[in-house]
Structure 1
Amino acid sequence: MASTKSESYFVFMNYDPEYERLRADRTKKGTNELDLYLSRKHNELLASTLEAGSYKKTLSLVIVDGFSVDITEDQANVLRSAKGVRVVEKNQELA
Structure 2
Amino acid sequence: MGDQKTDLYFVFMNFDSEYERLRADRSMEGKEKLDAYLSNKHDQLLEKLLEPNTYKKKSSLAIVDGFSVEITPEQATTVRSAKEVRVVEKNQELH
Deviations 1:37-94 (A, max 9, x none): 0000000000000000000000000110000000000000000001200010000001
Residue 8 of structure 1 aligns with an amino acid whose one-letter code is L
Percent identical residues: 63
1:44-63 correspondence runs (5 A)? 44-63=44-63
Runs (5+) with no aligned partner, structure 2: none
State the aligned residue count: 93
Residue 15 of structure 1 aligns with an amino acid whose one-letter code is F
Q: CA RMSD in A?
A: 1.0
Runs (5+) with no aligned partner, structure 1: none
Residue 79 of structure 2 aligns with an amino acid whose one-letter code is L
CA distance in 1, matches of 2:71, 2:4: 9
**Residue aligning to 1:76:** 76
1:11-90 correspondence runs (5 A)? 11-90=11-90
Could you list the runs of 4 or more consecutive aligned residues of structure 1 that deviate by over 3 angstroms after TM superposition? none
Residue 63 of structure 1 aligns with an amino acid whose one-letter code is I
